[in-house]
């Protein structure tokens, strides 16, 4: 009997899954496998919110496999060690998996390939599983990757993604392979109270609803803070319960300006993956160093804590940070303005903010989180590195009636309209009645500090 192992990583779905399809086409039986990688824990990336969402995804994947005659094998430990053990137990000849973009993913693939080849077995790594286009699918003439999004998008948009694969009707598996018990969300603590549910079924339900009633207005409303008009599909893309290839096809089929704007965001995701694949150290070091003189974390400790707690005195910043803590997710406009406030107004190293986001974000990954932070901080791919987002103006523009702020900052719920964005302008007893902090920094001082530090660089 010819047996293949399918190693699931960030692709926890049955629809449009090239590694699973290839394994089923080339084998009489497969072993669907997920390894809870202890190296992820050691590196500090095993955040409770993501572990809870992962638990949902694994249980849903196992359910889908059982409906097709199979089941998921779950192991924990070193990925290479566990895969090789399963390969021996199943007497498998081949292992199929999705390609990753991070430095760790590349090392994992090379270690696994070397270990398997030493035993006369083969590793097959499949592109366009985690991204719509492979990181190296489009490149400029003089470089191995695009450093600016606009020319990348021009080339990306001219490419035709591969066809979408349907979910298999049957998954014949090699029996007798031992499995640990699947993790449960209920076994975890320190979760965000409003954390969304994970799993392919949930993701496909959200996608269907989004295509029916959300995508049409996306171009006009994606920055609308109180309207919450984004797709909220980013956690499902991060864990791979939805296929980016399928999303591109279905959005283009829907058509219209909203669909075009949504596809552009999917291209941004691919863009960040191709940058990280070409420059793996961009997850921890400046992509384009500006020799910024960031404040020391010791001197900025109180400001950093206030930012994390949503107590900066700038309502729209605090609202976004409190949404992050409660939901494990934040509106895209909120991510931009909170990152700008930390790096440009408080002048704190972008890595401090990126680390905090990764501790809470259910969709947090190295490519999108780190490179978006670098974009805002001016050390990444933004062609305007001195861009600064004023939190008061941002609040008035994207939350004009203050609805978003009042939703997350109940101390200010008694203030009407746009007045909620400048509570420091209240007088006397009215001001004292609100248990809300004074601004931790004057905007003019913050910007002056930013410019002064730039001038010394």
> What is the mean pLDDT of the segment spanning 372-388?
94
Q: How far apart are CA 372 and CA 357, in angstroms?
A: 11
* Residue 81 contacts residue 119 (beta carbons within 8 Å): no
Residues of the chain with CATH 1.25.40.80: 131-161+201-278
What pLDDT score does 130 carry?
98
Query: Ramachandran region of residue 214, left (φ > 0), alpha (ψ -120 to 50) or beta?
Result: alpha
What pLDDT score does 200 carry?
98
What pLDDT score does 374 carry?
97
Q: How far apart are CA 355 and CA 453, in angstroms?
A: 23
Q: Which of 210, 231, 181, 211 is nearest to 363 (CA)?
A: 231
CB atoms closer than 10 angstroms to residue 301: 12
Cβ-based burial of 44 (10 A; exposed 0-12, middle 13-18, buried ≥19): exposed
- φ, ψ of residue 385 to 5 degrees: the values are -65, -20
pTM of the model as a whole: 0.95
What pLDDT score does 431 carry?
62
Residues of the chain with CATH 3.40.50.620: 3-127
Residues of the chain with CATH 1.10.579.10: 301-456
Residue burial 48-81, b: 16+ Cβ < 10 Å; e: rest = bbbbbbbbbbbbbbbebbeeeebbbbbbeebbbe
> What is the mean pLDDT of the segment spanning 314-336?
98
Q: How far apart are CA 368 and CA 364, in angstroms?
A: 7
Confidence of residue 324 (pLDDT cuts 50, 70, 90): very high
Q: How far apart are CA 440 and CA 438, in angstroms?
A: 6
Q: What's the token pair of residue 244?
A: 């980016």
CA atoms within 13 A on the CB side of 19: 30
The answer as to CATH 1.10.579.10 being correct for domain 301-456 is yes
Q: Helix 244-254 vs helix 200-213: angle between axes, to the nearest 10 degrees?
A: 20
Higher pLDDT, 190 or 427: 190
Instruction: For 194-248, write each residue's pLDDT tens digit.
Output: 999 999 999 999 999 999 999 999 999 999 999 999 999 999 999 999 999 999 9
- In Å, how far are 16, 49, 225, 374, 450 from 344, measured between CA atoms? 41, 28, 21, 12, 6
> Is pLDDT of 439 > 90?
yes
Instruction: For 83-136, write each residue's pLDDT tens digit.
Output: 999 999 999 999 999 999 999 999 999 999 999 999 999 999 999 999 999 999
Confidence of residue 188 (pLDDT cuts 50, 70, 90): very high
What pLDDT score does 445 carry?
53
* Residue 323 contacts residue 406 (beta carbons within 8 Å): no
Torsion from C-alpha of 73, 78, 79, 84, nearest 10 degrees: -80
Q: How far apart are CA 51 and CA 418, in angstroms?
A: 38
> What is the DSSP-derived secondary structure letter of residue 370?
I
Give the CATH fold of the 3-127 domain. Rossmann fold (3.40.50)
Q: What is the CATH number of domain 131-161+201-278?
A: 1.25.40.80
């Amino acid at each position: 009997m010819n047996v293949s192992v399918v190693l699931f990583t960030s692709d926890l779905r049955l629809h449009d899954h090239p590694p699973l399809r290839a394994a089923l086409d080339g084998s009489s039986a497969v072993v669907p496998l997920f390894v809870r990688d202890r190296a992820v824990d050691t590196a500090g990336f095993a955040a409770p919110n993501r572990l809870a969402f992962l638990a949902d995804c694994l249980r849903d994947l196992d359910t889908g496999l059982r409906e097709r005659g199979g089941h998921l094998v779950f192991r924990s430990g070193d990925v290479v060690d566990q895969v090789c053990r399963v390969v021996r137990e199943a007497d498998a000849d081949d292992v199929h998996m999705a390609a990753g973009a991070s430095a760790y993913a590349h090392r994992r693939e090379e270690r696994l390939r070397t270990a398997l080849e030493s035993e006369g077995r083969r590793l097959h790594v499949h592109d366009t599983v985690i991204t719509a286009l492979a990181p190296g699918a489009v490149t400029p003439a003089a470089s191995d990757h695009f450093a600016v999004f606009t020319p990348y998008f021009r080339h990306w948009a001219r490419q035709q993604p591969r066809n979408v694969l349907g979910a298999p009707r049957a998954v014949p598996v090699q029996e007798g392979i031992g499995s640990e018990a699947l993790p449960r969300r209920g076994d975890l603590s320190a979760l965000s109270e409003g954390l969304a549910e994970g799993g392919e079924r949930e993701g496909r339900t959200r996608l269907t609803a989004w295509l029916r009633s959300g995508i049409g207005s996306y171009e006009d409303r994606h920055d609308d803070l109180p309207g919450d008009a984004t797709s909220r599909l980013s956690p499902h893309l991060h864990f791979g319960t939805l296929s980016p290839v399928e999303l591109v096809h279905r959005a283009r089929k829907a058509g219209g300006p909203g669909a075009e704007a949504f596809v552009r965001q999917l291209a941004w995701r691919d863009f960040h993956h191709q940058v990280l694949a070409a420059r793996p150290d961009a997850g921890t070091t400046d992509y384009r160093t500006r020799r910024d003189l960031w404040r020391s974390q010791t001197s900025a400790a109180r400001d950093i804590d206030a930012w994390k707690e949503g107590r900066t005195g700038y309502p729209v910043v605090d609202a976004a940070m409190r949404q992050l803590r409660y939901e494990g997710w934040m509106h895209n406009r909120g991510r931009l303005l909170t990152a700008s406030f930390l790096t440009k107004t408080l002048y704190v190293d972008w890595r401090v903010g990126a680390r905090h986001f990764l501790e809470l974000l259910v969709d947090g990954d190295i490519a999108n989180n780190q490179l978006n932070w670098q974009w805002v901080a001016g050390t990444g791919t933004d062609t305007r590195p001195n861009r600064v987002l004023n939190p008061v103006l941002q609040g008035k523009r994207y939350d004009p009636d203050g609805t978003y702020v009042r939703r997350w900052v109940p101390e200010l719920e008694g203030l009407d309209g746009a007045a909620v964005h400048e509570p420091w302008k209240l007088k006397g007893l009215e001001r004292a009645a609100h248990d809300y902090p004074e601004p931790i920094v004057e905007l003019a001082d913050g910007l002056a500090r930013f410019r002064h530090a730039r001038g010394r660089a």
